[in-house]
């Protein structure tokens, strides 16, 4: 009882000295890893709306699966993103990736976690970086988000299951076909036994055309994964927003 009281007092003192700040603008807010009212209005939360398979927003229609997924079911059985890619969502992704604001991974995970479907025998796997890029940056932002999701959801994560064995050039400016060709064969599974028969949930920060995730899914399915899903912080819903 005394320990609980001491812990509560310490948290109160810490919050008083260092009050929670908006993840977007830094204004004081009621709780950590949240947004102030102004920033909240700038975030387009996607939730569970959209195609039940690829997650593409479907407006003014009652259909649950888009025409593209009906015509050709994707390798990734279920794709979800917390928010639509926009200025504020982009700012968080850039600050995490290049500004080393690693606490933002917790903010992202907070809003991504409710979109992860319950599944037995699941494994969270971050989309990997090539070792040269990892050495330069010092960390994989997707692995940080996967770790936070693992803590929230009690789902195992392994950042070493999937490897990027070939360094690929930036995909920005490439057509969808060029992107697919560029990332083809760029990934490998370190140990097939770690994914055999499992539901692998890929974790990424920003989903653009999905070429990289599709290449990862192809590799995982060939290694024996029973199902591949994808969860990301933000997704591009308009082609003019493509950044990589």
Cβ-in-10-Å burial (0-12, 13-18, 19+) of 25 comes to middle
Kindly state the tokens that stand for 120: 């037995």
* Residue the block writes with tokens 């005394």: 2
Q: What is the pLDDT of residue 60?
A: 62
Look at residue 236 and give its three-state secondary structure: coil
Query: What contacts 57, CB < 8 A, 6 or more positions away?
Result: 46, 49, 50, 84, 237
Q: What is the pLDDT of residue 196?
A: 97
Q: What is the pLDDT of residue 16?
A: 45
Q: pTM to 2 decimals?
A: 0.86
Give the pLDDT of the chain (244 residues) as one tens digit per residue: 444 444 444 444 444 447 899 999 999 998 889 999 999 999 999 988 788 899 988 776 677 888 889 998 899 999 999 999 999 999 999 999 998 899 999 999 999 999 999 888 999 999 999 888 888 888 999 999 999 999 999 999 999 999 999 887 777 777 777 887 888 888 999 999 999 999 999 999 999 888 899 999 999 999 999 999 999 999 998 654 444 3
Q: What is the pLDDT of residue 50?
A: 84
Look at residue 210 and give its three-state secondary structure: coil
Q: Give me the residue spans of the domains in the chain.
A: 1-42, 45-241
Output phi, psi for 14, to 5 deg: -65, -45
Please tell me the distance from the alpha carbon of residue 170 to that of residue 37, in angstroms, as a whole number: 35
Q: What is the pLDDT of residue 83?
A: 96
Please tell me the distance from the alpha carbon of residue 227 to that of residue 63, in angstroms, as a whole number: 23
Q: What is the pLDDT of residue 109?
A: 97
Fold of 45-241: Rossmann fold (3.40.50)
Please tell me the distance from the alpha carbon of residue 224 to that of residue 193, in angstroms, as a whole number: 8
User: Can you give the C-alpha Rg of the chain in angstroms?
Assistant: 19
Give the single-character DSSP code of 157.
B
* Torsion of Cα atoms, 218 then 138 then 206 then 232, to 10°: 70
201's enclosing H/E stretch is: strand 199-207
One-character DSSP codes across 28-94 = B-SSSS---HHHHTT--B-TT-S-TTT-----S---SS-HHHHHS--SSSEEEEEEE--HHHHHHHH
């Amino acid at each position: 009882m005394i320990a609980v009281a001491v812990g509560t007092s310490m948290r109160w003192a810490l919050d008083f000295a260092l009050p929670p700040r908006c993840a977007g603008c830094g204004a004081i807010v009621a709780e950590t890893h949240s947004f102030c009212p102004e920033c909240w209005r700038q975030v387009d939360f996607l939730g569970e709306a959209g195609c039940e398979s690829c997650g593409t927003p479907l407006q003014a229609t009652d259909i649950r699966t888009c025409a593209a997924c009906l015509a050709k079911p994707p390798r990734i059985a279920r794709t979800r993103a917390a928010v639509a890619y926009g200025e504020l969502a982009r700012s968080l992704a850039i600050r995490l990736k290049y500004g080393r604001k690693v606490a933002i991974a917790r903010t992202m995970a907070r809003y991504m976690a409710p979109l992860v479907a319950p599944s037995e025998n699941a494994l969270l796997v971050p989309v990997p970086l090539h070792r040269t890029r990892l050495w330069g940056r010092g960390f994989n932002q997707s692995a940080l988000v996967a770790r936070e999701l693992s803590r929230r959801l009690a789902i195992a994560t392994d950042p070493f299951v999937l490897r990027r064995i070939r360094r690929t050039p930036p995909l920005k400016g490439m057509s969808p076909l060029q992107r697919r060709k560029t990332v083809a064969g760029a990934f490998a599974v370190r140990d097939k036994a770690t994914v055999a028969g499992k539901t692998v949930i890929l974790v990424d920060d920003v989903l653009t055309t999905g070429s990289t995730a599709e290449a990862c899914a192809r590799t995982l399915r060939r290694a024996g994964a029973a199902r591949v899903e994808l969860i990301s912080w933000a997704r591009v819903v308009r082609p003019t927003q493509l950044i990589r």
